């Protein structure tokens, strides 16, 4: 991984025999190389991404533990229940849903709302009895 990152840095900031454009000033050339480097890093990050849910156990900025309400319309997340290769392992709890993947199902005042779908989910879940969290 270090070598790939080093190669990207050399491509973006290393000296090249042919200038990018002879009419650009050196400052403009540096800015163009910086933009190119940032785009390469973004592409690298997208390629390395392991799943839809990161280690922070958040999706679209919302934490994926706490009180959950199942709704039919206007959900925060659309989820699909699977038996293999989930993005998140979920444990149903009756109290203290205080860590990643622990969900307490409620009728009112949820932390977030979900809708069960069979296609095009935001992420996939699997209900487990132990070891909830990101795979």
Q: Which band of pLDDT confidence, cut at 50, 70 and 90, is reported for residue 33?
A: confident
Count: domains in the chain? 2
Residue 16 above 70 pLDDT?
Answer: no
Q: Alpha-carbon distance 132 to 88, whole Å?
A: 8
Sign of CA dihedral 31, 32, 36, 42: positive
Structure tokens at 65: 């533990």
Please name the helix (run of DSSP H) or strand (run of DSSP E) that holds residue 4, with its range, or none.
Answer: helix 2-13
Residue 105 above 60 pLDDT?
Answer: yes
Whole-model pTM over 0.85: no
Shared domain check, 70 and 10: no
Provide the domain limits for residue 71: 58-134
Tell me which of 46 and 125 has the higher pLDDT: 125
Shared domain check, 116 and 83: yes
Q: Specify the residue for token string 């699997």.
A: 126
Establish if 53 belongs to a structural domain: no
Establish if 106 belongs to a structural domain: yes
* Mean pLDDT along residues 46-66: 80
Shared domain check, 97 and 42: no
């Amino acid at each position: 991984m270090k070598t790939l990152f080093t190669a990207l840095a050399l491509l973006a900031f290393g000296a090249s025999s042919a200038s990018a454009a002879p009419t650009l000033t050196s400052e403009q050339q540096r800015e163009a190389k910086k933009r190119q480097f940032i785009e390469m890093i973004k592409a690298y990050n997208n390629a390395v991404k392991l799943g839809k849910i990161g280690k922070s156990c958040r999706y679209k900025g919302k934490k994926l533990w706490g009180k959950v309400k199942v709704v039919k319309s206007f959900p925060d997340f659309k989820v699909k229940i699977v038996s293999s290769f989930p993005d998140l392992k979920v444990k149903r709890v009756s109290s203290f849903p205080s860590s990643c993947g622990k969900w307490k199902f409620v009728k009112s005042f949820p932390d977030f709302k979900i809708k069960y779908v069979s296609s095009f989910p935001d992420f996939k879940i699997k209900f487990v009895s132990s070891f909830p969290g990101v795979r």
